[in-house]
Structure 1
Amino acid sequence: MLGLSITNVSKVWNPKGPNPVPAVTNLTLDVALGEFVVLLGPSGCGKSSLLYIVAGLEDATSGKVTFDGLPVTQPSPERSLIFQEASLFPWLSVRENVGFGLSIRGKTPLERKEKVDALLRMVGLGGAGDRRPDELSGGMRQRAALARALAMDPKVLLMDEPFAALDIQTRARMQDHLLQIWQASGASVLLVTHSIDEALALADRIVVFTARPGQIKAEITVDAPRPRDLRSPEMIDLARRCEALLAEEVTKAFKEQELL
């Protein structure tokens, strides 16, 4: 299959230690080219662990991950990971941050300038290129981080709760912005969230995780055209379905945390 294929993947943290921690177990998931998939589940269910494996930052304990038919064994510009915190280099300007990967690739200053300027305009930061990260709001920093990821022309965007730290209004704007950029780029997106509303606003498909060790409990296809009215009867029904699927898993996760 072209695209991303996760087959029977398990991950155990500290496997040889006194307290091994299973993160995900026998997880299988395919993400088509250009598809927007959201991973939804309780805290600690292995969603982020799965992203790190797909990014090539961590090895699976068992199973395999392939992209376009080739095994994932290390990080690649084809698979860009965006964290909850923007993690920009504080000593570089926004323009230098966005162009950092391009400079490593040996692009000329003119090539970097043309691409970076175009990306900054795309994410609505055309006038902020000379600012430092600490001069930007949280939403602006995340847009800069998104531009930096897009500079490498990724085929997959991996996003680990990228808007969790933002206020409600900024979060909604960032979701709209992400959809526009995703549609323009043609990349696949695999996004982790705890928010049912965020999942319904963004996803082509919602993958609901069980409590740890994470497995796929259900997959929900969202066919409604974007932008979506989350107060429509269709979206309310889907939200209730997600809530029902998550309720038991959240309870399990809380009970496990109480025993730690």
Structure 2
Amino acid sequence: MSTTEQRVAIVTGAARGIGAATAVRLAAEGRAVAVLDLDEGACKDTVEAITAAGGKAVAIGCDVSDGAQVEAAVERVAATLGAPTVLVNNAGVLRDNLLFKMSESDWDTVMNVHLRGAFLMAKACQKHMVDAQFGRIVNLSSSSALGNRGQANYSAAKAGLQGFTKTLAIELGKFGVTVNAVAPGFIATEMTAATAARVGMGFEDFQAAAATQIPVQRVGRPDDVANAIAFFAGDAAGFVSGQVLYVAGGPLS
């Protein structure tokens, strides 16, 4: 068994979409995977997909914005699968609205899940990585970090994750820990389907309209993002840290 095969990964928000695709991909590469989501029962399909393919996974319910729940979840992972040395901070929510309609709760909820959640998860996992002198943290940003109408909260959170990524890369590099971010563009998931519903469009029409604005002329799939995350999580990316990779079908500035 190789070193990579012995490693344990945590993927947050892994019940569906990008998180589920990432958990399955990391398991296929030989890692034991903790599938985290707010509802432990919702993780069943992801865990079954992994175990059916011969992999090892465990479902864990966790509100990533709650420090006590995060500590308990990481301790459970360590006890069940082993010390986690790969962390993918994917958990996210949308509370879209124009600024004058956005409530304080809309702002706080998005900040708490995306930014506070990534902070708490990284803080709880880094001690295991430092002890192992190896770690991979991948944070999910977004093309919305560059600004997007109706997403002041989400855009600010995703931009904040880029600064968080670069700072952790500086702090943790000497311990063999790399920290990078993947910033998806339009990816066909339940979250983008919800956005289509919010603007009053059918999801197929919404995707078709989006594809016309993307150089490769299609929208992204969860596997497109999982592929990028898998690179950052692997041994081959040991000299790549503090980077933000846009997975958006074309150049973004």
Q: Under a length normalisation based on structure 1, what TM-score does the superposition of the two structures give?
A: 0.35
When Rg is computed on C-alpha atoms for both structures, the one with the higher figure is: 1
RCO higher in structure (CA 8 A, sep ≥6): 1
Bigger fraction of residues in helix:
2
Bigger fraction of residues in strand:
1
Q: Under a length normalisation based on structure 2, what TM-score does the superposition of the two structures give?
A: 0.36
